[in-house]
């Protein structure tokens, strides 16, 4: 009886994982097919689609833009978020709860609405460029990650260390960079990884923010699959998934996957 119950649960779990991972494996397998239509199971074996992906300048340019925005927005979010997280954990002042909510609030607003307000105000009304609106929008997306992770890192930090450094003659700036920052650097790293991945994969916000020659990678892919159904996208997806896998292995080796989810 005990054994059976165990096996039934195991079987359900196995099927659930097939449902989660199987489609992604099918895409990977289909990327090697020789036919020009995307089918699974495919016939033959070719790497031509991989060559084609890297020859398509629209994908390459979109990927470069997506990476640039993801890293720049994460850097902005750190510059704005780390000092605020430090202040909110270190000092006592009125309105702390409200400010904390404010820094976490972008996550409460649906991305599609954030994208819409970028288009409606930042681009149409304030006449900022599409690139700036992408940077601003993606920074908003990343601030809550920084806030949440840095707050929990600082919760484990003993601020008495700071006072000790101060009493030994270190000034506040020196203490922050030499005492506080090294203690929360793994938190900062986790926040960066999450923010970059989230920004790189974002569709709902970026979908409003395109201009001739300026398109983020996920939007470019969505546009392509509306009209084409060939293994090029499967090849591109496989490359992206291999990068994701590499990043996950790196996280597991350094920070532990638990720290980012």
Partner 1 sequence: MQKGFRKWMWLLLVVPGTLFITVFMLIPLFSILFSTFMAESRFSLENYTRLFTSVYFQQVFGRSVRLSLLSTLLCALLGFPSAYYISRYSRHKGMMMALAVFPMFTSPVIRSFSWMVILGRKGIVNQFLVSVGLFARPQSLLYNEFSMTVGFVQLFLPQMILSLLGVMDSIPGDLTEAAGSLGATRLVAFLRIVFPLSISGLVTGAVLVFTGCMTAYTTPQLLGATDTQVLSTMVYQYAMSLRDWVQASAVAMVMIVVTMLVSHVFNRLSRRINPMAN
Residue in 203, 214, 230, 255 binding partner 1, rule: CB under 8 A: 203
Calculated CA dihedral for residues 148, 150, 152, 155, nearest 10 degrees: -140
**Cα–Cα distance measured from residue 23 to residue 6, given in angstroms and rounded to the nearest whole number:** 26
Site for partner 1 in 112-171 (CB under 8 A): 112-114, 116-122, 136, 139-140, 143
Site for partner 1 in 80-109 (CB under 8 A): 80-81, 83-84, 86-88, 90-91, 93, 99, 102-103, 105-106, 108-109
Per-residue contact string for residues 163-202; x = within reach of partner 1 by CB under 8 A: ---------x------------------------x--xx-
Decide: residue 78, CB within 10 A, 0-12 exposed, 13-18 middle, 19+ buried.
buried
The CB-of-111 to partner 1 minimum distance in angstroms stands at: 7
Enter the tokens of residue 219: 């939007």
Query: Contact between 23 and partner 1 (CB under 8 A)?
Result: yes
**CA nearest to 115, candidates 208, 182, 28:** 208
- Total residues contacting partner 1 by CB under 8 A comes to 82
Site for partner 1 in 42-71 (CB under 8 A): none
Decide: residue 55, CB within 10 A, 0-12 exposed, 13-18 middle, 19+ buried.
exposed
Residue that is written with structure tokens 């390459």 in the block: 60
Residue 69 or 233: the one with the smaller Cβ distance to partner 1 is 233
Residue in 4, 19, 44, 57 binding partner 1, rule: CB under 8 A: 19
């Amino acid at each position: 009886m005990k054994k059976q119950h165990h096996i039934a649960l195991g079987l359900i779990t196995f099927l659930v994982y097939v449902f989660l991972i199987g489609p992604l494996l099918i895409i990977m397998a289909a990327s090697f097919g020789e036919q020009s239509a995307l089918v699974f199971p495919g016939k033959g074996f070719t790497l031509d689609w991989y060559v084609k992906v890297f020859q398509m300048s629209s994908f390459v340019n979109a990927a470069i833009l997506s990476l640039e925005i993801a890293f720049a927005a994460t850097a902005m979010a750190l510059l704005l978020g780390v000092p605020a997280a430090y202040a909110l954990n270190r000092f006592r002042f009125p309105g702390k709860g409200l400010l904390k909510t404010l820094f976490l609030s972008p996550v409460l607003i649906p991305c599609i609405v954030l994208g819409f307000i970028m288009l409606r105000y930042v681009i149409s009304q304030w006449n900022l460029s599409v690139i700036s609106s992408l940077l601003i929008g993606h920074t908003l997306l990343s601030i809550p990650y920084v806030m949440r992770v840095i707050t929990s890192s600082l919760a484990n930090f003993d601020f008495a260390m700071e006072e000790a450094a101060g009493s030994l003659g270190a000034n506040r700036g020196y203490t922050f960079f030499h005492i506080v920052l090294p203690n929360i650097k793994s938190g900062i790293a986790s926040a960066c990884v999450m923010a970059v991945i989230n920004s790189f994969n974002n569709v709902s916000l970026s979908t409003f923010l395109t201009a001739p020659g300026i398109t983020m990678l996920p939007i470019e892919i969505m546009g392509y699959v509306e009209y084409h159904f060939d293994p090029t996208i499967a090849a591109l997806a496989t490359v992206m998934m291999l990068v994701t896998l590499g990043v996950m292995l790196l996280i597991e080796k350094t920070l532990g996957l638990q720290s980012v989810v």
